[in-house]
Amino acid sequence: MKILIKEVNSSIQDSDVKWYLADESLWITSYSDYSGVEKSIANCFGSFNWLYNVNDTLLFEKEDGKFKLAIINLTEKVEVVESPIRNDISVKKGDIYFMESKLCDYEFRGKVNYVCEKDYLYSCPSEFLQDNDTIILFITCNFGFFIHEQLLVGWMLKKASNHLELSTIGEKTLAKSGNMVIAEYLRVQKKCEEDNNLEPLVELSMRLESQDDIASLAVKECLNNILSFNNR
CA distance 164 to 162: 6
CA distance 123 to 157: 9
CA distance 193 to 20: 21
The per-residue pLDDT for range 15-37, each reduced to its tens digit, is 999 999 988 999 999 998 888 88
Contacts of 22 (CB under 8 A, 6+ apart): 166, 167, 218, 221, 222, 225
Strand duo 67-73 + 25-28: pairing: antiparallel
Residue type for 149, please?
A: E
| Residue ranges of domains in the chain | 3-162, 167-230
For the whole prediction, is pTM greater than 0.85?
Answer: yes
Which of 211, 157, 158 lies closest to 181 in space, CA to CA?
A: 211
Instruction: Compute the average pLDDT of residues 35-58.
Output: 82
Strand duo 78-81 + 112-115: pairing: parallel
Instruction: Compute the average pLDDT of residues 61-74.
Output: 94
Judge contact between 7 and 94, C-beta under 8 A: yes
What DSSP state is assigned to residue 160?
A: G
Query: How many percent of the chain have pLDDT more than 70?
Result: 93
